[in-house]
Amino acid sequence: MSQKIEYAIQDRYPEDFSWCYGCGRLNKDGHQFRTGWDGDQTATYYQPESAHTAIPGFVYGGIIASLIDCHGTGSASLALHRKNGFEPEDTELPPRFVTASLAVKYVKPTPEQKQLKAVGTIEEIHPKKFKVIVEVFAEGELCATGEVVAVVMPASFGAK
Amino acid sequence: MSQKIEYAIQDRYPEDFSWCYGCGRLNKDGHQFRTGWDGDQTATYYQPESAHTAIPGFVYGGIIASLIDCHGTGSASLALHRKNGFEPEDTELPPRFVTASLAVKYVKPTPEQKQLKAVGTIEEIHPKKFKVIVEVFAEGELCATGEVVAVVMPASFGAK
């Protein structure tokens, strides 16, 4: 059964920062990943498209890496927002993060035609820097693990 | 000035394994990355599309990760193929690799509208396992570095 995030942090990103090919709600050509709380962890669900193949039957690793990337920055945003006293249900603008580094281990080939779930475990390593450990499951089967280091978007990016 | 790989290893992949969203020449919806020799190093050129944005003005990190991923497997294929006595100019089928792990460091925001060049330096760490150190430049400016560990595709994938 397909699952969905009800309150996604990306729904609260300012319009100018909602064009990300991975998670921008305004980028109609992109993946539109949506990340929310799942208890003390975070979750992003995604159904890859048929074109997103590696070899027939399996999902392309770059899509997995993209999912982990935006799940990481979204999770960091959720965490700092909660620390500041807000939830994605609130209309308050959350802090935006960028990816400093991304690492992915492909545990096993990711089967196509299954909904993927990225699960994040968040660790604050500095008030403006978070590490997110990510596990990617295809209907319960662990297919990839990852680690994202995300930092608050520098003012030079025009962050609001 | 836009540059292009003349003899790409992906042009020699068997048809069944040419549907990769990153580098499959038969996947018309994909990026169609093409990887070839550049002296003792390898190169892949890519012009991101306008939709591939992170925030306005900069390229999405998942596209950079995808470029590094396929550049890594393509470079490993080139290296083992050369070790076996073949070049991509030959019609011999090259060995196919899959990604075991991928790591990316985002050195600086990657500007949009510039052709990217991924440069690979290859190290054999086992007869069936190669490490590829990757640097991604936007018109000469280093924007990201990466490391791919690529392994010969297991027979269970149906490799020929």
The pair of three-digit structure tokens given for residue A74, joined into one six-digit string: 């979204």
DSSP letter string, B120-153: EEEEEEETTEEEEEEEEEETTEEEEEEEEEEEEP
**Min Cα separation A53/chain B (Å):** 5
Task: Look up the ipTM and state it.
Answer: 0.96
B106, B108, B152, B160, best to mutate vs chain A, most A CBs in 10 Å: B106
Q: Which pLDDT tens digit goes with each residue over B30-89?
A: 999 999 999 999 999 999 999 999 999 999 999 999 999 999 999 999 999 999 999 999
Q: What is the pLDDT of residue B160?
A: 43
Contacts of A19 in chain B (CB under 8 A): 53, 55-56
Indicate the Cα dihedral angle A25, A26, A30, A36, nearest 10°: -10
What distance in Å separates the CA atoms of residue A109 and residue A144, rounded to the nearest whole number? 8
What distance in Å separates the CA atoms of residue A135 and residue A133, rounded to the nearest whole number? 7
What distance in Å separates the CA atoms of residue A20 and residue A28, rounded to the nearest whole number? 10
pLDDT at B155 over 80: no
pLDDT band at B101 (very low <50, low <70, confident <90, very high): very high
Q: What is the DSSP letter of B20?
A: -
What distance in Å separates the CA atoms of residue B11 and residue B25, rounded to the nearest whole number? 7
Judged by a CB distance cut-off of 8 A, whether residue A105 touches chain B is yes
Contacts of A55 in chain B (CB under 8 A): 16-17, 19-20, 153, 157-158
B51–A103 CB contact, under 8 Å: no
Give the mean model confidence (pLDDT) for residues B131-141. 97
SS (H, E, C) chain B: CCCCCCCCHHHHCCHHHCCCCCCCCCCCCCCCCCEEEECCEEEEEECCCCCCECCCCEECHHHHHHHHHHHHHHHHHHHHHHHCCCCCCCCCCCCCEEEEEEEEEECCCCECCCCEEEEEEEEEEECCEEEEEEEEEECCEEEEEEEEEEEECCHHHCCC
Side-chain-side CA neighbours of B19 within 13 Å: the count stands at 13
The residue count of chain B comes to: 160
* SS3 assignment, position B68: helix
Q: What is the pLDDT of residue B154?
A: 81
pLDDT tens across the length of chain A (160 residues): 689 999 999 999 999 999 999 999 999 999 999 999 999 999 999 999 999 999 999 999 999 999 999 999 999 999 999 999 999 999 999 999 999 999 999 999 999 999 999 999 999 999 999 999 999 999 999 999 999 999 999 876 654 4
Judged by a CB distance cut-off of 8 A, whether residue B155 touches chain A is no
Distance of CA A52 to the CA centre of its chain: 18
The pair of three-digit structure tokens given for residue B14, joined into one six-digit string: 């068997």
Domains and their CATH numbers in chain B: 9-158 (3.10.129.10)
Helices of type H across A114-158:
none
Beta strand segments in chain A, E: 35-38, 41-46, 97-106, 116-126, 129-138, 141-152
Q: What is the pLDDT of residue B158?
A: 58
